[in-house]
């Protein structure tokens, strides 16, 4: 399922500009027990939940992205700068407003059928996303996904956002989250698959025997993924999972 593609080369803000891939690739999987899903661009039909909110407010985090990629700021500062852009009349928005905005983001086509089929085969599922946990929790509830690892934002006593982040999934270190999940859930990485759409998912895909690029957004992930699934329907993943179901 490897295809020649005319995707963006991922040169400006590539994961591999910051760090090299982890060298702990699992070679073979005989039994599938857990599938790790990126959220933005995979389970949801939007490239970035953060960018979705930026677009709503008509703001850009381009400067922060450049600073992050160049190593000038870390994940927590990246979150702080992003949230600081979400102001109305100079005041940060209420968490209920954030929930309302994120409810507008649709699920990817075929998401419910894909997750339901996996669960019918006693395969667990997890979200592993550097996106917003507000959206990840909603998606997990709608799809019945058991485990959620995503980033959050603290609120004050009245429910308004602060600029303080809750970091659970570092953008370029999803490999560390895979190790935590394996420990938390007592599931060997030999029995995991992972699904992502961009170079930032490569560390996660590299840690399991079956790393799948779904509707890939750049060539970077296509070059390293074990399988590539084109299109925007998650039911197509079931063809890849079929030998393990």
The average confidence (pLDDT) of the chain is 92
In a domain, 41, yes or no: yes
pTM of the predicted model over 0.85: yes
Which of 66, 80, 75, 143 has its CA nearest to residue 110? Answer: 143
pLDDT digits (tens, 9 = 90+) for 145-156: 999 999 999 999
User: Coil, strand, or helix at residue 59?
Assistant: coil
Give yes or no for residue 1 having a pLDDT over 70. no
In a domain, 14, yes or no: no
CATH number at residue 54: 3.40.50.1000
In a domain, 229, yes or no: yes
Q: Which two tokens stand for residue 190?
A: 């030999």
In a domain, 9, yes or no: no
- Residue 89 domain boundaries: 24-244
pLDDT digits (tens, 9 = 90+) for 44-61: 999 999 999 999 999 999
Q: How far is CA 85 from CA 4, 40, 92, 212, in A?
A: 38, 20, 8, 34
In a domain, 194, yes or no: yes
In a domain, 13, yes or no: no
Check residue 110 and give left, alpha or beta (phi > 0: left; psi -120 to 50: alpha).
left
User: Coil, strand, or helix at residue 18?
Assistant: coil
* Average confidence (pLDDT) over 75-89: 94
In a domain, 82, yes or no: yes
In a domain, 131, yes or no: yes
Give yes or no for residue 4 having a pLDDT over 50. no
How many domains does the structure of the chain reveal?
Answer: 1
């Amino acid at each position: 399922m490897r295809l020649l593609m005319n995707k963006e080369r991922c040169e400006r803000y590539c994961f591999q500009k910051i760090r090299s891939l982890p060298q702990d690739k699992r070679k073979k999987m005989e039994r599938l027990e857990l599938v790790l899903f990126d959220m933005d661009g995979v389970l949801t039909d939007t490239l970035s939940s953060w960018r979705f909110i930026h677009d709503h407010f008509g703001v850009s985090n381009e400067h922060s992205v450049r600073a992050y990629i160049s190593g000038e700021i870390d994940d927590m500062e990246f979150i702080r700068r992003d949230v600081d852009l979400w102001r109305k009349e100079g005041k940060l928005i209420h968490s209920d407003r954030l929930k309302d905005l994120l409810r507008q983001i649709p699920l990817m086509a075929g998401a419910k059928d894909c997750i339901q089929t996996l669960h019918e085969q006693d395969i667990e599922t997890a979200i592993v996303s550097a996106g917003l946990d507000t959206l990840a929790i909603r998606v997990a509830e709608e799809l019945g996904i058991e485990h959620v690892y995503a980033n959050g934002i603290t609120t004050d006593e009245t429910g308004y956002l602060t600029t303080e982040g809750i970091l659970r999934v570092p953008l370029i270190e999803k490999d560390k989250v895979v190790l935590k999940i394996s420990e938390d859930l007592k599931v060997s990485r030999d029995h995991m698959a992972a699904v992502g759409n961009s170079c930032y998912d490569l560390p996660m895909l590299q840690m399991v025997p079956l790393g799948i690029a779904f509707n890939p957004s750049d060539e970077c992930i296509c070059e390293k993924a074990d399988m590539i699934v084109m299109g925007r329907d998650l039911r197509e993943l079931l063809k890849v999972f079929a030998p393990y179901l």
